[in-house]
A and B are shown apart, each in its own frame.
Chain A
Amino acid sequence: MKNIDSAGHVTGRSLYLDDIPEQQGTLYAVPYDAPTAHAHIKKLDVSKATASPGVVRILTYEDVPGENQIGGIIPDEPLFAGHEIHFWGMPVALIIATSEDIARQARKLITIELEELPVITDPREARAKNELIIPPRTFKLGDTKAAWSQCVHVFHGRVDNNGQEHLYIETQGAYAYPTEHDSLRISSSTQGPTAVQRTIARVLGIPMHRVEVDVTRLGGGFGGKEDQASAWAALVALAAFLLKKPVKLSMHRMDDMRMTGKRHPYSSDYRIGFDKDLRILAYEATFHQNAGAAADLSPAVMERTLFHATNAYHIPNVEVTAYCCRTHLPPNTAFRGFGGPQGMFVIESAIAHAADELGVSARELQRRNLMQEGSEFSYGQIADHVHAEACWNLTDQKFDLDKLQAEVDAFNAQHETHKKGMAIMPICFGISFTNTPMNHARALVHVYQDGSVGVSTGGVEMGQGLNAKMVQVAAAVFSIDPSHVKIESTNTTRVANTSPSAASATADLNGKALENGCNAILTRLKEKASRMLKSSPDAITIVDERVLNNGRPTDLDWTKLIHAAHWDRVNLSESGHYATPDIHFDKTKEKGHPFAYHVYGTAAVMVTVDCIRGTYEIDAVKLVHDFGKRMNDAVDIGQIEGGLVQGLGWMTLEEIVYNDKGKLLSNALSTYKVPDIHSVPKEITIEALPTDGHPLAIRRSKAVGEPPLMYGIGVYFAIQNAIKAFRPDARMVFDAPYTPEKVLMSLYA
């Protein structure tokens, strides 16, 4: 089944936040944000701006009736800067005017007097100054201290990775309108409707039941709208609440890029030790996470870095420590992979470094150390249903890695100015929110008396194909044609207390809740049918909209049964609930079983570097992915291709630049480059690992949103191998992204 919104998308009829027909009298909000990264505010003067014709009001922290606080995990993030500015782009005031243009012009009239304070942009500097958002955390397995003496080869080094701008093509936005009983309805471009609702209730000092949040779809999220949609929704809610008027904010791209956080940059150190058979005996890493000015989701992101620090490798002795470092950048946040990619980049760098020093291929080191069934992760979970080696072997079998390498070598022997490089990227990614209490969901199912079905879940459609999968689930349980099922908007009054659409788990959690809801209705329908057919409920099945009794056709079909059930006062609605079983994690011991299951895969990446100019092309990515028992090929292939390209963008072109004052220089699409149609791999070949899937995955079809992003990491090492082919003594640098600038410097400087 295709993405069910496809026809709406290609005709331009799908509605996004800024497309919602406006109510009469709608006002427009534009934030005024801090023009420096760290300062005391001595004086804020909005008088000239307030006096501009068309400006209705300018709000500051003094206008907040509840708490001036939006921090989710830790209450350390004011909605408006009060007396102190913590990052460049921090909201200081909100201009509300009769048009967006008037508000933008008025913004230029606001003046601010500041007492500048020292700015930290580097996480290592923050750690040295003890600017930590939470205490450091360490995951330990075995005893690395004892293991080093048994290692024959030990290598250590430093790895840096830059952040990544989400660049959802639809910017952040929200539209709030007052409703009766001093309540509000908010349309928000958010992955977390409940987070928006909770934040607004807190800021306004009202109970959550007076705040209704509705989400139709997002024009991309990628984690950037998990926590960070809340501020913009809270701002317009505040304005609508105080002014009793509809208020809308649809962020200008440069405002969005300047004011919102991104994927976390990390600066890390590693030490890796091997025995004589090149098995990894010990691994230590220290991660300095650049969290930005407030916690946001950083502690959770940092935790996932630790969970994925050993990627798909079995290592008996592990000690990994992470520091959540407070700097004066915009608070960094969730981004597809959620800290996992940063952890994996470090161990892959360590392996590449070791391979270079040992004169063996990284591929050989990777292969020898892949996880096995029963391997223990550093966090205590015993790996089951392990497919690390199976994916690797199938990759080799399908694509012949020796032959691919031989082709690369032959090309390099024949060409002076262009060199090819190849690298392999295995992945292992855990599925579940690592915060166990978040792993539950609800779905509301209505079967209408004509047999059509309406479904609401807590999941948000943002292009990942969630709604297509939800249609499939409902249609499969009821055994009806998918055309009978409609997916409603995500709304906090229909499905409450939702976890955000994140962690790749949305389809699993909401799909299982939906399955439960549909099954409860189905049970009642079978009882009704058995009464009508004078049979027992166990003997009734519904197949392709026909009601069968003991497997034999009857006169009853879906429509007739629904009609009869309705008149017999059978409840045709249900709220299904699902909580992932068997998962737990004890943070005091840093041990447990946090993941429902893991997703595996292996990618082979080939690139060509132009050694005159330092530019490169990605020739091919050939991969084997563990989809489980795939329920939707179209959606899942799209997730692999899109995730891969986003990951390789992070590793190659996408370069966030802040100056030492904390000002974002890569502040527009002209200075921040994401992959375009010409920069993606010429070939992407995707093979599915044949398995039975996992029982905790929706219809045994595994989560697919985040894992493929990490295949992109292989591109970094393929480029590095090509550089080595041109210049064997090139220094191994682990500092992503590998921009053409860094490539040229590696080739010659």
Chain B
Amino acid sequence: MTRFILNDVLIETPAHEGTVLLDVIRYHQHLPGTKVGCREGDCGACTVLVGEMEEGRLVYRSMTSCLLALANIRGKHVVTVEGLNMGHLSPVQQALVDENGTQCGFCTPGFVVSLSGCCLSREMVTPERAIRAVDGNICRCTGYKSIERAATSIAQQLATKNTGDPVTWSVEHGFLPAYFKTIPDRLKAIRKQPGLEHDGSVGTLLGGGTDLYVQKHDSMHHSAIRPLGRSNELKGIRIASEQCVIGGGCVANDLLASEELHARLPQLEEYLLLISSTPIRNMGTVAGNLVNASPIGDLTVLFLALDSTIRLAKAPDRPEHGRNLKLRDLYKGYKLLDKAPDEIVTTISFNLPDKQTRIHFEKVSKRTHLDIASVNSAIRLEISRDATGSDMIREAHVSAGGVAPVPKYLTNTSAFLVGRSVDLETVRAAYQVMAEEVTPISDARGTAEYKRLLLRQLFFAHFMHLFPERFTLKQLVA
């Protein structure tokens, strides 16, 4: 049995834990406002808000219900468009009407839900933030400008929001129905209900499900699954003694939200915003990205260049019975890992940058946002100044995706850079080394020839970005 609150109603369902929430909402609970668009998290028509208690506070995130296993919403509050309706249109709904942000209307409930998430967040909502909230919603009719205008208007109306208690503020200001105020107590109550804990430990490991449900859409609701989402041991970002340790169950947006991490790696935000969309960043886990072993995994490529170490264990609550592995040693071939099927990535850790560290990430995809990279690449350099005052590369880690059967740690390129000065000759020679150690193939993301050229450009872009005064495009490509 799975218990959760759907809008204002407590649901107890015997449906298989691998059933996607979208089907439960539409076909079991007969709430048709949540639409089926693509069933792979790429259109946002099925977006819902998922609320859960975290450190005593009710936190809501937008998620695509087509990729969300019932197992992952146990004991949580699920909000569909029906759960946002009141006797009057909410200011979010009204703004979309006023700005003509709806035409055929099929994508509209998804936009309403995503934008309503802005009312519930604990941060101030700027127009940019409101637009970011719908970065996972595709509309084929409007051309988005009307939706932009609505988002801007909503942000303005939320200017006085009480970020300490957004639920109460939103209810009192007519943004949300009153029942939202009762949710924390009701969630606490169902936490105490029996049957909440998962009983089995066998089956397909399920993190956020954002890849599993795309790859195995037709079988997940029949197979035995072992959900990891409820293991608190896998959560959290800890920073201690110049090391950052990230729980394998953290999602990309946890990285984005971490103020500590932001303080040490401010450029991370820019990179993370190039990765998928808000709802997918709310669901997909860091460990999932690593073990999925996609040759183009964005987080994987970033963590490779950060020279990360992962910890593998069979039980999330007993990491001491595990082992450490350099992330770059995890990948043995296409989708082939140095990992037993029942091993879990409990943490990912890397040394934090200091003043001598230079880090950069580049990604190019057909569409800049919510798209899979054609090629991505990351770099980490440790620089030391020698006696003559010129910069030497003390340590180098370069990675690239989309150019090999695995997310590629560029061993030879990295080794080549060590001990050399940061100059044109080094960069161009390093690219020659790099060209020898990549093997891109032609596929839907581009031809092999393009990927080679793009990798060169991104490699040059790293240096142009990190040492803008030293390199020009003209010299590099000459």
Contacts and interface: CB of A to CB of B under 8 A. Distances in A.
Given A5-B105, A739-B366, A680 B144 contact: yes
A749 interface: yes
Contact of A744 (B134, B457, B461): B457
A250 interface: yes
B271 interface: no
Interface in A627-652: 634-635, 637-638, 641-646
Interface stretch (B145-153, B330-338, B342-350): B145-153
B103 A3 contact: yes
A741 B96 contact: no
A653 interface: yes
Contact of A676 (B34, B39, B135): B135
A186 interface: no
Interface in A127-184: 166-171
Interface string B75-112: 00000111001000100111011001011111111001
Interface in B383-427: none
Contact of B108 (A10, A676, A745): A10
Given A2-B100, A740-B364, A674 B138 contact: yes
Interface string B136-161: 01111111111110000000000000
A505 to B, nearest CB: 18
Contacts of A677: 131, 134-135, 137, 139, 144, 147-148
Contacts of A7: 89, 93, 97
B32 A670 contact: no
A253 B39 contact: yes
Most central of A217, A614, A642 by chain B CB within 10 Å: A642
A220 B33 contact: no
A247 to B, nearest CB: 16
B105 A740 contact: no
B87 to A, nearest CB: 11
Given A416-B474, A614-B454, A638 B140 contact: no
A653 B366 contact: yes
Interface residues of B, number: 81
Given A220-B141, A614-B454, A463 B104 contact: yes
B260 to A, nearest CB: 28
A101 B16 CA distance: 14
Contacts of A5: 102, 105
B304 interface: no
A645 B104 contact: no
A463 B105 contact: yes
Contact of B102 (A10, A744, A749): A10
Given A2-B100, A673-B366, A18 B36 contact: yes
Nearest to A673: B367
B364 to A, nearest CB: 5
A613 interface: yes
B96 to A, nearest CB: 5
A15 to B, nearest CB: 7
B40 A219 contact: no
A665 interface: yes
Contacts of A109: none
A670 B85 CA distance: 32
A749 B80 contact: no
Which of A613, A644, A674 has the largest count of B CB atoms less than 10 A from its CB? Answer: A613
Nearest to B375: A613
Nearest to B218: A104
Nearest to A742: B450
A641 B143 contact: yes
Interface in A183-222: 217-222
B143 A169 contact: no
A15 B474 CA distance: 57
B144 A645 contact: yes
Contacts of B94: 10
Contact of B453 (A101, A673, A684, A744): A744
Interface in B425-461: 443-444, 446-447, 449-450, 453-454, 457-458, 460-461
Chain A interface mostly helix, strand, loop or mixed?
loop
Contact of A665 (B42, B139, B364, B444): B444
A14 B105 contact: yes
B259 interface: no
Contacts of A669: 37-38, 40, 42-43, 138
B131 A9 contact: no
The binding surface of chain B is classed by DSSP as: loop
B369 interface: yes
A581 interface: no
B96 A10 contact: yes
B146 A638 contact: yes
B371 interface: yes
A220 B461 contact: no
A462 B364 contact: no
Residue from B26, B112, B368 whose CB has the most chain A CB atoms within 10 Å? B368
A520 interface: no
B93 A638 contact: no
B29 interface: no
B253 interface: no
Nearest to B214: A670
A218 B104 contact: yes
A309 to B, nearest CB: 27
B464 interface: yes
A612 B462 CA distance: 11
Given A465-B103, A677-B135, A748 B453 contact: yes
Given A6-B96, A10-B93, A613 B104 contact: no
A741 B447 contact: yes
Contacts of A643: 143
A218 B104 CA distance: 7
A608 to B, nearest CB: 13
B370 interface: yes
A657 interface: yes
Contact of A9 (B108, B147, B464): B108
Contacts of A655: 366
B45 interface: yes
Nearest to B113: A12
Contacts of A684: 143, 145
A748 B478 CA distance: 10
B366 A740 contact: yes
Nearest to B102: A9
Contact of A169 (B26, B107, B372): B107
A3 B108 CA distance: 13
Nearest to A639: B103
Contact of B368 (A463, A670, A678): A678
Nearest to B131: A677
Contact of A740 (B39, B362, B374): B374
Given A676-B367, A677-B147, A13 B33 contact: yes
B35 interface: yes
Nearest to A9: B105
Nearest to A611: B473
A568 interface: no
Given A220-B140, A642-B142, A676-B135, A657 B444 contact: yes
A217 B104 contact: yes
Nearest to B45: A169
23 contacts: A6-B100, A10-B112, A11-B93, A21-B30, A168-B104, A170-B35, A171-B37, A219-B105, A416-B473, A463-B104, A612-B464, A613-B457, A614-B454, A634-B100, A638-B143, A641-B143, A653-B366, A653-B367, A677-B135, A677-B137, A678-B135, A680-B144, A740-B364
Given A12-B109, A613-B458, 10 more contacts: A12-B112, A169-B35, A250-B36, A612-B457, A612-B461, A653-B367, A677-B139, A741-B447, A741-B454, A745-B449
Interface of A: 2-3, 5-16, 18-19, 21, 101, 104-105, 166-171, 217-222, 250, 252-253, 416-417, 462-465, 611-615, 634-635, 637-638, 641-646, 653, 655, 657, 665-666, 668-671, 673-680, 684, 739-741, 744-745, 748-749
Listed from nearest, the 7 A-B pairs whose CB atoms lie closest are A12-B33, A463-B104, A219-B106, A9-B105, A645-B143, A463-B103, A669-B42
